Homo-oligomer: A and B are copies of this chain.
Amino acid sequence: MPPFRRARAACTLSGPLVQRAFYSLPQTNLFMAKVMALLGSASDKPVFEKAAAIFKEFGVECEVHVASAHRTPGKVVSLVESSDAEVFIGIAGLSAALPGVIAAHTIKPVIGVPVDSKLDGLDALLATVQLPPGIPVAAVGIDRGENAALLAVEILALKHTELTKKLFAYRAKMAEKIAKDDADAQKW
């Protein structure tokens, strides 16, 4: 078997089944909505971390994998097709094919996060958002991992209604933060 194919087979077997990361929530939380986040490269970690912090705060389980649409295409397909995630997030820079490739293999909502690697991220933004008719990707702003996670939570909240209250609370917290910033501004 040639090396190229073996790599692909390998990830199908061991990848999605054993290598899961849980942003674990308190024991008492029985809520099990699942998001799978794929990163095109380990260097996209800082963008993912913004998403992970949101998922942790909302108690939403997120499985994360590094898997490249170009370097490990079979792994991406295996992960997506064998996953029971309800929402996918693809985080990638440059010619960011990852979100579109995920979307090509699932009918679940796919969120794309363009990463600024070259050209201020304009290349990744266009590659993420300009999908052809028929295969939508939900693009968020450049490097906006937190918004990808919040969008995922909003989507999940349609079904998992216990998230609704947390979303309202999050917005209130933001408003409070801005109120505090505004109060500080009165002393500038």
Contact = CB atoms under 8 A, between A and B. Distances in A.
B120 A70 contact: no
A36 interface: no
A130 B94 contact: yes
Report, as a range, how many residues of chain A touch the other chain.
35 or more
B131 A144 contact: yes
A119 B118 contact: no
Given A64-B188, A147-B135, A8 B175 contact: yes
A121 B123 contact: no
Nearest to A175: B7
8 tightest CB-CB pairs across the interface, nearest first? A3-B172, A138-B138, A7-B175, A136-B151, A136-B147, A42-B181, A123-B126, A70-B135
Interface of A: 2-4, 6-8, 10-11, 15, 19-21, 39-42, 45, 48-50, 52, 64-73, 75, 77, 86-87, 93-95, 97, 100-101, 103-105, 107-109, 111, 116, 118-123, 125-144, 146-148, 150-151, 154-159, 164, 167-172, 174-176, 178-179, 181-188
